Structures are given as structure tokens and as C-alpha cells.
């Protein structure tokens, strides 16, 4: 039904035209879910935008044809194309938080969309809208429809987005990363819904995602893209099970499996971490190990925040972020901490680093008591021994400082090296230790890719000679192949320098590869702690089981 | 919601108290009130007696409390210059300034918002570039020059509009209004345009910047993707979202317009608060200056309160109370 032939999209710029996608072929039949997978910059979203006619200015279609049924989408005027949008093609965006107008009720947005494409009265449109919401799994829809978007949770909001996309009964829906911003449980519900709609209403879906697990679970056919070119295309089982293209193979290799532990990820080109220039930093780190392997234990930690004030006379309700959490991280081990958003993972990291003061509980670092929150002095040893790697490498490095200054500051701050030139040398050496060219010290953070920035962030943490590292979702902002490189790097560093790591992630597959022990956190309570292999092979708690069951994976029979 | 408003009101009371203190200090420490009031021939004993009668020998705190108390009751004291109650003088002048300010605000919004929307939607058009250039020139020229130029063109050369005063006014109770006669409007037009030009430019540029930002947002793109009519997308979805930040700035600016209409009023000899203030400075009429300070601060506080309430009216995310009255916050 949708047929794309030889599609090329170009973005004019001062330095000539930039070709975003070239010679893309694709067909999608009614009721088919067609996965479009690739890493960032592959041009997946550009394909979707070209089909629906909403290419970001100044991009334009330089060649090829897109036709939906008998209609040639290229020949339409703007008005005709706009008429067709919603009516025959619609779209679902990635982030349900931002894709609904915050100032209009769900009802107004639905009725407006329905009335834009069919000549029905407001009452009829409202009835259709309520029926649709019920069908999509929103209970008590006739009352809920009066609510504003912010009154829905993330998953419910994505359902509303889907309702808006299908309320005009389109033939084709372009779903651009529809579950990336959602937790696994919600993700699996939304994917089920998409599958159901494809079957029952015969809607064709173009499912754009970077997550191969999602594709494996729901897509009938898949197209793999890289740098604007189609690498491979075909039945999902065939493409993912027996990939022929070298890129597809390496992409699938980089995906951490959920069902087994592998020692290292296969990464096409990997710079060994022990280059000659890194020797200096390596020796320096090893000689700095005055402290033995440093474990950490927390007991009965409770953290509660004040909620929004609702009344003048009562105290604002408290929101319990951590509820009586006890955790023991063995010296020199990696503790994985998994949980959905809002489960308190990051709060625990903040308590350990002293940024949040718990109401109750004690902490113990390497055999010595660790003061909580503000009672920890500025010069407390733990402020050097405990370091953090943050999730978003784009905001965790000061964009106005050179990389060399960012790194040398740590050395200066802890008083490790007095001489500025030596500090620079050590920073350069540390960069090569984490697999970066040493000349990076003269550049600014924005000159690097996300993966490179995360390496810089790791280097910064190491320059404090830490014994305990907290990695808060260190790879969730990165592509899978980059993720594989960073995870390899962290593993190597951990083994070499005997670091103890608290590894926080919502991605269960990643944690299985990294952690010796794993703790499952939910609503501020630890549901289960165990040796990682035991926990994954034989989960005791219902919640752990459901998390594992809902994580989208490739069926083992495809044997990647 | 109620809590929010109460909190803002309490904050406002503190602001007003601080301003009252400033005004009082002006009274108390800028020159000696007794020497201001009496001539050279008044004997030292008489001066001392006056000082005692006026309570100027009482402790400082006691004087301040009395001052504030009288202010709250509406007793603003007497002007040194005219010997009239300050309250009456201010009340006479407020209508002129308020009418001027409000009309200037309306002009700036009626032109600024549509121009902002137009320049945002046609961001590369020739018309847009022209408007942006002209308004840039508009803000770069000082207010008094604009006023004088307008007087020169429309008042002197073309002779269409009067160049000073309020023209024909009508009394409605104690309110002297120029909004009900043609003559009054003719007199109001030039000063209002002069006062509104800066605000107009600011509103336009702000609306333009916000609108362009909103047009790039996901919910507008999603609206495009599901074929919501463009007219509705522009004026219903985008414009309303644009207004949230615009209201803050416009509100703050309105306080400024009232406070700093001094220059415009002086160019057009507009008998408003600003002109009164200028005259008071010339004659070191400290009671009037002090009260002017308090009145202007009161305007600022009031406008800010209104802005906060408008916020809540526009943005449902701020209506926390509603959520708890009806639906649970999250489901």
C-alpha cells in the first residue's frame, strides 16, 4: 500500500547539499508492522517525515517516489497534503510528555481532530472519542476525557496520543520511537496495543526505533538503515536471525542479551585501553590505591520529599522516595540496581554522594561510617573516594571549559598534582587510558560525540582516584554500538583498578552483562537482591519476573 | 490555589512595608520638614513647638508606625507646595495617567501581538524584515524624540491633533475621563502612541520569538501530522501557548509604563502623576514624592498579582487544587 522507491532527501547548507537519505526502497502492506531500525543519524526519522510530508525545513525530497495506494504523495499541494494527513497517514511521536498541547483538554484535542476530517456534529465526535479511548484501554473514559494531558501518567498519555493518531481511521501510522520514553511494563502494553490495532483495524505501521528487541517482538518486516542507506530488508525473523549484511551482524552483536551473560561485547574496532600514553595514568592510579577494595553498605535508608501543597491548613503530603532500603555492596564488585522510573534509583545515588539527606538510616563506606547529607564535611575523604558518571554526557560536562581544564580541575581540587603542566600531561594520559586521542584536551566538549563525551566523563571520575564509582544510567543516552564500547571500557577499568561500582540502569539486559549482584527497586523498596545469574535465571519475586518477561528480546530460536 | 494567592498577598504586604519605609525615610531624612514649612522669621521656640506638635521628637519606630497607620487609613498628609491634602492631588491625577497607560497598553497589544504572530509565521518574508527593521529603529530612538517628532508631524505640520493637555474631559463621579469625547481621544492619541511604542516593539519581538519556539514543539508537529486545520494550529494551539510567558513581561512592563510615563507626560504637558512628580521635585515637595513612591509600588504589586492569576487561568498545570477536587493527579 505504501510504496517508497529510490527516495533521496537532501538538506541544503552553505557547504553544498547534505544527503540525509539516499535511494531508500520500502513497501508496507495494510496491517503490517514494518520496523525501521538503525542508530542515531541513520536517517530513520527522515524517512518518516518525508512520507508524511513534514520534513524539517530546509530539507527537500531530491528524488524518488512515495505513493500511498493510488495517490502519489509527491505531487500533492500543501493543502492537499495537509488534508491527507490525519485522514490517511498519521504519526505517533516519541515523547508523550511533549506531544500533547498542555493547555487543551483531551476532549477538545480529540473532537477537533475528528471534526477536521469528517463532517460530524460535536456530540457524535465526542461519542466516537469516548468509545475510542475505552477501546484503547482508558477506563472511565467519559469522565477522563475532560482531563488535561498533565493529569495522565506517561503510559496513559501515550495511549491518548495513539487515540489521536487513529481517531480519523488512517491507513498508515508512522510511529517514531513510540516506546523509547516509557518503562518496560508500559512499553509492553503500548506494543500490544499497536499489534492489536494492526490486526483488527488493518492499519499499516512504520515503527521507527533503535531498539532491536522491540522490532523482534512486534515487527513483521524490518529495514535496517545506516548513514541514510538501507543495509538490509526483509522478514524480521530472517533479517535478525540470519543477517547477511556486515552492519546488521555487528548491530545485533552489540545488543546485550537478556538470557545469558557474555564476557565482552563484540565491537568492530576497539582501541585497547593500555596504549603507551595511558601507562602514566595507569601507574598513577595503581599507586594511588592506598585504600583497599572499598565496599559500601546502607541500612534502613528512608527518604521522603514534601509533595505539592494542596491545602492551607494541612501539611503537604510526603512522597516516600526510599523506604527502608538496605543494601550491601561487596568490595570490588559491581552491584546492579534496576527499576522503573520513579523507583528511587537516582535518589539512592544522591544519598550515597551526600546530595540528599535521608530521614533515617546509616551508611558505611569501606568499614568507616559515612556521614549523611550536610553533616558530611567538604573535605571528607569519601568525597574523593566516591565518584559519579552521569546519564547525560551532553549536560554533565561544562560546555565552556576545554576538556583539559575539566580534567585537570579534578587533580588540582584534590591536590594530587601541584604543577599545572604535569596536570595537563596526566589529563592527556588519562584520556588515552579511556580510549581517546590525547590531543582532545585542547578541544571543547561539543566537538565530541555522545560516546566520546561519556569517555571524558569516565576519565574525570578516574582522575579523583576513586574506589567507589556510581554509574547512573551511563549508557541510556547512547547508541547500542557505543553502549557496547563504554560497557567494555567500564568492565576493563573495574578489573584493572579494583573499583567497586554501583551500576544503575533501567535496562535489565545491560545489568546482566555488567553486574555481579543485582538489586531490584520498586517504589522506593528493594524487592529482591541476589547474585545476578541466580536472579535472572531464577527470579523469586513476582515483580522481577514480570520485568524480565516484559523486556522485549529476540526469540532465542533465531539464535543471533 | 487559595494557598498560592494568600502567599502572594502576604509577600505583597512585605513589599509595600519596605516601600513605605523608603518613603518615610525620604520624609524624615531628606531635609528638615520644619525648616521646609516655616520661613526665616519663625523663632527657634516656635520651631521647637511645631516639632513637638507634629510628633517629630517621638522615637523613630513610633513615627514610622504612625506614618504607616495613617497611610493605610488614606491620610497622606499635606503638600508643602499647595497646602492641599496629598490624597486629593494624587486622586485628581491618577485618572489621566491610568487612561494614558491603559490606552498605550491596548495599542501596543493590538498591534504588537498580531505583528508578532505575522512575523513568526512568515519569518523570511520581505514584510517581516521591514517590520523588524522599523521597530528596531523605533526602540532605538528615545521616547521624548518620538514624542516631539509626532508633535511636529501631526500637531504642527498637519495640524490634525492637539499637542498638549487632555482636551475635553467628562466627570464621572471623581473620575475625570477623556475617553468619552472626540476631543479627549484626539488629545490622548499622540501621547498614548509615544508611550506605547517601546512596549509594542517588545511585545512583538517576544510574541515572535515565543511563537517560533512553540511552532517547533512536538505538539504542533503532532497537530500538523494529524491534519488539524492550520488556522486552528496557529491561533488556538500555538498562540495560547505563546501567551503564557508574554503575559509576564507585558504585566511587568505595564507597571513600568505607569511609573515611567514621566517623560511622555512632560513632553505633552499631560496632567498625570508623572507631571505632578516632576513639579514636586522642582519644589522639593517631599510628601508628594513619598506618596508617589508608595502609589507606584502599589501598582506594581497589583499588576504582578493579576499576572499570577492570569497564569492560573491560562495554564491548567498550575491549578493544583482542581486536580485534587476532582480527579486524582495521575492515573
Q: Is A58 on the interface with B (CB under 8 A)?
A: no
Residue A308 has pLDDT above 70, yes or no: no
Distance CA A354, CA A116 (A): 54
| B219: chain A residues, CB-CB within 8 Å | 98-102
Choose among B223, B230, B329: nearest Cβ to A151. B329
Residue A371 has pLDDT above 50, yes or no: yes
pLDDT digits (tens, 9 = 90+) for A429-477: 999 888 888 888 899 998 888 889 999 999 999 999 999 999 999 988 8
Choose among B227, B232, B331: nearest Cβ to A85. B227
pLDDT digits (tens, 9 = 90+) for B137-163: 877 888 888 888 888 888 888 878 887
Domain spans of chain A, in order of start: 276-286+330-356+379-551
Choose among A89, A103, A113: nearest Cβ to B228. A113
pLDDT digits (tens, 9 = 90+) for A401-413: 999 999 999 999 9
For strand A386-389 and strand A468-472, is the pairing parallel, antiparallel, or unpaired?
Answer: parallel
| A165: chain B residues, CB-CB within 8 Å | 225-226
With residue A233 as reference, give the H or E element that holds it: strand A229-235
- Sorting pLDDT into bands at 50, 70 and 90, what band is A56? confident
| A308: chain B residues, CB-CB within 8 Å | 320
Residue identified by cell 522481577 is A544
Better pLDDT: A266 or A502: A502
Given a contact cutoff of 8 angstroms between Cβ atoms, the answer to whether A510 and A242 are in contact is: no
- ipTM of predicted assembly, 2 dp: 0.80
- Sorting pLDDT into bands at 50, 70 and 90, what band is A290? low
Binary contact (A103, B315; C-beta < 8 A): yes
C-alpha distances out from residue A84 to A76, A79, B2, Å: 9, 9, 47
Residue of chain B nearest A176, judged by CA positions: B222
3-class SS at A438? helix
Given a contact cutoff of 8 angstroms between Cβ atoms, the answer to whether A321 and A344 are in contact is: yes
Non-local (6+) Cβ contacts of B26 within 8 A are B286, B289, B290, B293
Given a contact cutoff of 8 angstroms between Cβ atoms, the answer to whether A465 and A288 are in contact is: yes
pLDDT digits (tens, 9 = 90+) for B169-223: 777 777 777 777 777 788 888 888 888 888 888 899 999 999 999 998 999 999 9
Nearest chain A CA: its distance from B323 CA (Å): 8
Distance CA A37, CA A248 (A): 10
pLDDT digits (tens, 9 = 90+) for A57-112: 888 999 899 999 888 988 888 899 998 998 899 999 888 888 999 999 999 999 99
Nearest chain B CA: its distance from A503 CA (Å): 30
Binary contact (A99, B226; C-beta < 8 A): no
Dihedral sign computed on CA atoms, order A406, A408, A412, A416: positive
Residue A140 has pLDDT above 60, yes or no: yes
| B3: chain A residues, CB-CB within 8 Å | 309, 311-312
With residue A21 as reference, give the H or E element that holds it: strand A18-28
Residue of chain A nearest B321, judged by CA positions: A310
Residue A116 has pLDDT above 60, yes or no: yes
Q: Is A54 on the interface with B (CB under 8 A)?
A: yes
| Mutation to test the A interface, candidates B225, B228, B246, B328, most A Cβ within 10 Å | B225
pLDDT digits (tens, 9 = 90+) for A255-277: 888 888 887 777 765 555 456 67
| A166: chain B residues, CB-CB within 8 Å | none
Q: Is A314 on the interface with B (CB under 8 A)?
A: no
Residue A170 is predicted with a pLDDT of 92
Better pLDDT: B106 or B37: B106
Dihedral sign computed on CA atoms, order A329, A335, A339, A341: positive
Taken in order of first residue, the domains within chain B and their CATH numbers are: 90-273 (1.10.3720.10)
Q: Is A80 on the interface with B (CB under 8 A)?
A: no
Residue B322 is predicted with a pLDDT of 41
Number of helices (H) and strands (E) in chain A: give both, helices first.
Answer: 20, 20
What share of chain B has pLDDT > 70, as a percent? 95
Binary contact (A151, B323; C-beta < 8 A): yes
The x, y and z cell numbers of residue A529, run together, are 537482591
Burial letters A289-307, b for 16+ CB under 10 A, else e = eebeebbbbbeebbbbeee
Q: What share of residues in chain B are helix, strand, coil (percent, to 5)?
A: 75, 0, 20
Choose among B217, B323, B331: nearest Cβ to A98. B217
Distance CA A326, CA A521 (A): 11
The x, y and z cell numbers of residue A42, run together, are 541513520
Q: Is A497 on the interface with B (CB under 8 A)?
A: no
Nearest chain A CA: its distance from B239 CA (Å): 11
pLDDT digits (tens, 9 = 90+) for A326-338: 999 999 899 999 9
| A312: chain B residues, CB-CB within 8 Å | 2-3, 6
Residue B327 has pLDDT above 80, yes or no: no
Nearest chain B CA: its distance from A445 CA (Å): 26
Choose among B3, B228, B240: nearest Cβ to A312. B3
CB pairs < 8 Å spanning A and B? 103
| A86: chain B residues, CB-CB within 8 Å | 225-228
pLDDT digits (tens, 9 = 90+) for B211-255: 999 998 999 999 999 989 999 999 989 998 998 888 888 888 888
Residues in chain A: 560
Nearest chain A CA: its distance from B3 CA (Å): 5
pLDDT digits (tens, 9 = 90+) for A195-248: 999 999 999 999 999 888 899 999 999 999 998 999 999 999 999 988 999 899
- Sorting pLDDT into bands at 50, 70 and 90, what band is A427? very high
Choose among A85, A152, A164: nearest Cβ to B331. A152
Q: Which fold has domain A276-286+330-356+379-551?
A: Rossmann fold (3.40.50)
**How far separated are the first and last CA of chain A, in Å rounded?**
31
Binary contact (B222, A100; C-beta < 8 A): yes
Residue B258 has pLDDT above 70, yes or no: yes
Binary contact (A86, B315; C-beta < 8 A): no
pLDDT digits (tens, 9 = 90+) for B70-118: 888 878 778 777 778 888 888 888 888 888 888 999 999 999 999 999 9
Number of helices (H) and strands (E) in chain B: give both, helices first.
Answer: 15, 2
Binary contact (A151, B315; C-beta < 8 A): no
Nearest chain B CA: its distance from A152 CA (Å): 5
Residues of B near A (CB-CB distance < 8 A)? Answer: 2-3, 6, 217-219, 221-230, 232, 236-237, 240-241, 314-317, 320-321, 323-324, 327, 329-331
The x, y and z cell numbers of residue A92, run together, are 505517533
| B317: chain A residues, CB-CB within 8 Å | 102, 148, 150
Amino acid at each position: 500500500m505504501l510504496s517508497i522507491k529510490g527516495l533521496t532527501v537532501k538538506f541544503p547548507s552553505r557547504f553544498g547539499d547534505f544527503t540525509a537519505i539516499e535511494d531508500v526502497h520500502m513497501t508496507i502492506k495494510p496491517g503490517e508492522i514494518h520496523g525501521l531500525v538503525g542508530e542515531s543519524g541513520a536517517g530513520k526519522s527522515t524517512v518518516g517525515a518525508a512520507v508524511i510530508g513534514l520534513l524539517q525545513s530546509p530539507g527537500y525530497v531530491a528524488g524518488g517516489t512515495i505513493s500511498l495506494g493510488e495517490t502519489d504523495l509527491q505531487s500533492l499541494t500543501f493543502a492537499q497534503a495537509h488534508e491527507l494527513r490525519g485522514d490517511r497517514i498519521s504519526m505517533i511521536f516519541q515523547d508523550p510528555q511533549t506531544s500533547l498541547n498542555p493547555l487543551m483538554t483531551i476532549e477538545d484535542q480529540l473532537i477537533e481532530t475528528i471534526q477536521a476530517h469528517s463532517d460530524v456534529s460535536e456530540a457524535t465526535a465526542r461519542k466516537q472519542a469516548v468509545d475510542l479511548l475505552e477501546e484503547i484501554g482508558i477506563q472511565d473514559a467519559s469522565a477522563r476525557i475532560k482531563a488535561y494531558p498533565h493529569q495522565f501518567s506517561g503510559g496513559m498519555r501515550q495511549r491518548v496520543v495513539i487515540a489521536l493518531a487513529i481517531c480519523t481511521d488512517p491507513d498508515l501510522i508512522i510511529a517514531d520511537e513510540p516506546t523509547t520514553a516509557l518503562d518496560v511494563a508500559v512499553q509492553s502494553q503500548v506494543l500490544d496495543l499497536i499489534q492489536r490495532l494492526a490486526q483488527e483495524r488493518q492499519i499499516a505501521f512504520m515503527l521507527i526505533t533503535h531498539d532491536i528487541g522491540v522490532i523482534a517482538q512486534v515487527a513483521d518486516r524490518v529495514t535496517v538503515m545506516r548513514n541514510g542507506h538501507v543495509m538490509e530488508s526483509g522478514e524480521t525473523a530472517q533479517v535478525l536471525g540470519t543477517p547477511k549484511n556486515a552492519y546488521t551482524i555487528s548491530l545485533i552483536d552489540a545488543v546485550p542479551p537478556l538470557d545469558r551473560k557474555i564476557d565482552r561485547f563484540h565491537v568492530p574496532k576497539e582501541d585497547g585501553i593500555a596504549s603507551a600514553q595511558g601507562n602514566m595514568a595507569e601507574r598513577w592510579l595503581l599507586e594511588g590505591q592506598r585504600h583497599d577494595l572499598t565496599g559500601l553498605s546502607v541500612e534502613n535508608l528512608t527518604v521522603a520529599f514534601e509533595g505539592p501543597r494542596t491545602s492551607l491548613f494541612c501539611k503537604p503530603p510526603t512522597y516516600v522516595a526510599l523506604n527502608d532500603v538496605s543494601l550491601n555492596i561487596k568490595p570490588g564488585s559491581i552491584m546492579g540496581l534496576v527499576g522503573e522510573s520513579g523507583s528511587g534509583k537516582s535518589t539512592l545515588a544522591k544519598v550515597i554522594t551526600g546530595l540528599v539527606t535521608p530521614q533515617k538510616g546509616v551508611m558505611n563506606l569501606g568499614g568507616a561510617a559515612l556521614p549523611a547529607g550536610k553533616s558530611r564535611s567538604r573535605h571528607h575523604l569519601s568525597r574523593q573516594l566516591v565518584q559519579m558518571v552521569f546519564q547525560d554526557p551532553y549536560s554533565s560536562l561544562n560546555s565552556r571549559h576545554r576538556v583539559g581544564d575539566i580534567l585537570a580541575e579534578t587533580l588540582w581540587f584534590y591536590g594530587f598534582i601541584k604543577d599545572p603542566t604535569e596536570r595537563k600531561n596526566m589529563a592527556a594520559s588519562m584520556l588515552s587510558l579511556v580510549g581517546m586521542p590525547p590531543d582532545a584536551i585542547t578541544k571543547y566538549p561539543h566537538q565530541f560525540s555522545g560516546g566520546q563525551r561519556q569517555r571524558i566523563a569516565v576519565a574525570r571520575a578516574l582522575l579523583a582516584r576513586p574506589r567507589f564509582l556510581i554509574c547512573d544510567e551511563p549508557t541510556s543516552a547512547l547508541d547500542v554500538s557505543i553502549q557496547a564500547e563504554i560497557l567494555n571500557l567500564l568492565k576493563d577499568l573495574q578489573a584493572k583498578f579494583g573499583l567497586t561500582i554501583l551500576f544503575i540502569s533501567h535496562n535489565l539486559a545491560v545489568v546482566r552483562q555488567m553486574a555481579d549482584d543485582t538489586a531490584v527497586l520498586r517504589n522506593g523498596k528493594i524487592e529482591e537482591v541476589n547474585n545476578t545469574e541466580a536472579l535472572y535465571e531464577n527470579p523469586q519475586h513476582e515483580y522481577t519476573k514480570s520485568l524480565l518477561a516484559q523486556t522485549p528480546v529476540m526469540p532465542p530460536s533465531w539464535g543471533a | 490555589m487559595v494557598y498560592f494567592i494568600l502567599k502572594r498577598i502576604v509577600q505583597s504586604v512585605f513589599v509595600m512595608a519596605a516601600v513605605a519605609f523608603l518613603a518615610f525615610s525620604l520624609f524624615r531624612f531628606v531635609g528638615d520638614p520644619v525648616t521646609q514649612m516655616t520661613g526665616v522669621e519663625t523663632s527657634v521656640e516656635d520651631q521647637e513647638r511645631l516639632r513637638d506638635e507634629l510628633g517629630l521628637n517621638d522615637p523613630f519606630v513610633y513615627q514610622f508606625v504612625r506614618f504607616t497607620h495613617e497611610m493605610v487609613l488614606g491620610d497622606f498628609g499635606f503638600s508643602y507646595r499647595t497646602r492641599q491634602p496629598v490624597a486629593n492631588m494624587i486622586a485628581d491625577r491618577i485618572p489621566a495617567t491610568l487612561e494614558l497607560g491603559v490606552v498605550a497598553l491596548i495599542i501596543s497589544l493590538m498591534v504588537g501581538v498580531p505583528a508578532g504572530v505575522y512575523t513568526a509565521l512568515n519569518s523570511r518574508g520581505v514584510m517581516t524584515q521591514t517590520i523588524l527593521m522599523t521597530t528596531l529603529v523605533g526602540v532605538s530612538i528615545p521616547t521624548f524624540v518620538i514624542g516631539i517628532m509626532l508633535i511636529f508631524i501631526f500637531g504642527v505640520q498637519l495640524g490634525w491633533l492637539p499637542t498638549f493637555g487632555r482636551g475635553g474631559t467628562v466627570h464621572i463621579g471623581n473620575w475625570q475621563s477623556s475617553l468619552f469625547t472626540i476631543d479627549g481621544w484626539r488629545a490622548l492619541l499622540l501621547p498614548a502612541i509615544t508611550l506605547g511604542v517601546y512596549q509594542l516593539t517588545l511585545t512583538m519581538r517576544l510574541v515572535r520569538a515565543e511563537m517560533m519556539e512553540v511552532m517547533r514543539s512536538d505538539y504542533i508537529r503532532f497537530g500538523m501530522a494529524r491534519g488539524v486545520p492550520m488556522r486552528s494550529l496557529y491561533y488556538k494551539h500555538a498562540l495560547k501557548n505563546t501567551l503564557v510567558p508574554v503575559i509576564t513581561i507585558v504585566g511587568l512592563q505595564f507597571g513600568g509604563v505607569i511609573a515611567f510615563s514621566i517623560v511622555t507626560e512632560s513632553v505633552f504637558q499631560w496632567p498625570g502623576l508623572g507631571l505632578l512628580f516632576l513639579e514636586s521635585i522642582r519644589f522639593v515637595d517631599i510628601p508628594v514624592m513619598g506618596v508617589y513612591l508608595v502609589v507606584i509600588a502599589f501598582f506594581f504589586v497589583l499588576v504582578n498579582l493579576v499576572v499570577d492569576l492570569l497564569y492560573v487561568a491560562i495554564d491548567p498545570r498550575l491549578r493544583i487544587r482542581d486536580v485534587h477536587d476532582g480527579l486524582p493527579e495521575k492515573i
